[in-house]
Chain A
Amino acid sequence: MASAWSDVEQKGIRRSTGKLIVPATTSFVLAVDATDGDPVYRRHVIHLISDLIQSLPVECWSALYFLGNRKQYPLQDFENQAKEWMDENAGRVRLVTTVFDAVGASNGAPPSFLIIRRGKIHDLHDWEETEQLQRTIIVTIDHENRKAYQEVADVKDLLNPTAEELREACFNPLVTITIDGQGFMPIQWTNEAYQFCLTERGAQLVAHAKNGVGDFDCVVSYLIAENNEPQAKVERAGGKLEILPLTHTVSSDFPLSDRQLLRPEEQYLFHQAIRKQDIHCLVCNKPHRWYDLWCTEAEADFILGVPVYPSLRDMRGWVLFEDTEAGVVVSQYPSNVLITSSHQVYVRDRNGLLALAYNPAKVCWDVVSEQLPQYLPVGEKQYAVYL
């Protein structure tokens, strides 16, 4: 198993490890127009923003700016200091470049922008057809002159929204995260929210968010076609798809669980099974076929049954058996994708156990066998079973 990577490079695939950080919801940089000194406008804006800050999760906010000012303000103090800050920024030239530039170099998922304004933003058209503007919501608080402010086309804009309408526009929870790529094959990953899926597009890791919440950050060790990178497609309730890269991180094997010596009667059962001799079940004390891994007769509490090896009761997924001089030891393999050679893996999908081999000509993984033995030889005196 340890030498499985020896000729990976020759097959046109490489192994790498990447880290994915998925913001729980769209994170907003808030840019406020404080130019206009009209007290009615100011009171309305302060009320609108305070309401928004209180009603959305804290992860929704990444920074606060005022139009035409490079200084970043602490958003958590908005309610207490809003009036003072509005005074400080009164009369400022309505410019947005500094806001877009300030967050341009930040790491991780790019934030969205929420601009609340009452006048024309002079430099907005510099950003036409940019990614930043595609992630921008412009809120105009003005009943009379809105048409004069429409500096750019194709930007999401709201005119005099209520607090509720604004909240709905900004809160954009997660629905699904899909990690895939050309020739992508996940080997191990740290977050159990992700499930391995084999689709027409190839191998994927997919996570579904319940109620838009959850932790979906993940470190993934994977194989991928040379000159390709995996990416995560993040679908949010708003419908827009975000593409997030996986940032390279130090490659390391995820540890196997502690190796555990089987009891003598279990070792006997194992040796019988690999010789394809029917076994005597240690759970129900009745005969079973050699390939049976589950006993459904003994304990009514377990609808699906329990493993015929009592020591494996708490193990699921791939379990490795190794016949050593000291006896038969077992360990839990830390992934649903079992890699046994440089370009071959075994997976379990809804159709059962499959053997997949990398096809460098087609830059994909082909199913090479659907008839796999229950005790899968994976090395000298090593077998894997899927529980």
Chain B
Amino acid sequence: MQCTFDKMGFPMLQIHRLKLDIHLLPVTKWQFERFLEEEHVFADSWYAALLDLNPRTSYRRFNHESYCRLFVTGILPHEAQRYARWMGKGYDLPTLSEWRTIAAHVKNQAQSYRLCLNPDISSPALTILQRLSQIKGTEDLYQMMLFEDGVVEWVSGERCWVGVGHPPLSLHPNVWNPFHDVVKVHEPAERLHYFGFRLVRRHS
């Protein structure tokens, strides 16, 4: 497996089999804020409401209890898609099938996240990964990618947007198995504090 980077220097894993790259981590608030600065499509009140659901933590100071606060949550799929369009050509939310295929693929590889530590990585991304590795006590790529113990992630299902993932109990009590369960949302406009997203970049 090889690593590439998005325009903010956050690592993406190249999945040649699926002809796409996927973010190593769910989209962080730090990344999303660069979008908010440049596009000015969401107001401060909108962002403050999101932060009320899942408060922000400093990427320099998070700990085992607060690391899920690094990630954008409470967001709706069409808002995440807007971010994806801003990111550039080929960026999109993954399908449920892609997400599970990639998670299973990474789980079988037993790789270290260190394959992403190269000079192209941005300072915030490097800080987050190194600190996350330290507090989780692992370098294992699968664990570092937070397919488990992260946020529930928006993916496109067969008919509608669904969630996939297994958040830590401190974020939301659950027994979901991301390889078998999907998290369905009954109110499409409801903002859920444990729902975030990550992006893929499809090769044309």
Contacts and interface: CB of A to CB of B under 8 A. Distances in A.
Nearest to A129: B60
B40 interface: yes
B38 A35 contact: no
Contacts of B47: 93, 122
Interface string B95-134: 0000000000000000000000000000000000000000
A68 B60 contact: no
Interface in A146-196: none
Given A70-B38, A91-B44, A128 B33 contact: no
Interface in A116-131: 119-120, 122-123, 125-126, 128
B67 to A, nearest CB: 15
A223 to B, nearest CB: 37
Interface of B: 29-30, 33-34, 36-38, 40, 42-45, 47-48, 51, 56-61
Contact of B37 (A70, A91, A125): A70
The DSSP consensus for interface residues of chain B is helix
Interface in A82-126: 91-95, 97-98, 119-120, 122-123, 125-126
Contact of A91 (B33, B43, B51): B43
Interface residues of A, number: 18
A122 B60 contact: no
B33 A93 contact: yes
A92 B40 contact: yes
10 contacts: A35-B44, A69-B37, A91-B45, A93-B33, A93-B37, A94-B44, A98-B34, A122-B56, A126-B59, A128-B60
A128 B29 CA distance: 17
B37 A119 contact: no
Contact of B44 (A98, A119, A123, A125): A119
B58 A95 contact: no
Contact of A95 (B36, B57, B59): B36
Interface in A19-60: 35
In this complex, the member of A93, A120, A123 whose beta carbon has the largest number of chain B beta carbons within 10 angstroms is A93
Contacts of A93: 33, 36-37, 42-44, 47
In this complex, the member of B30, B44, B57, B60 whose beta carbon has the largest number of chain A beta carbons within 10 angstroms is B44
Contact of A92 (B44, B58, B59): B44
A98 B60 contact: no
Given A92-B44, A128-B60, A122 B33 contact: yes
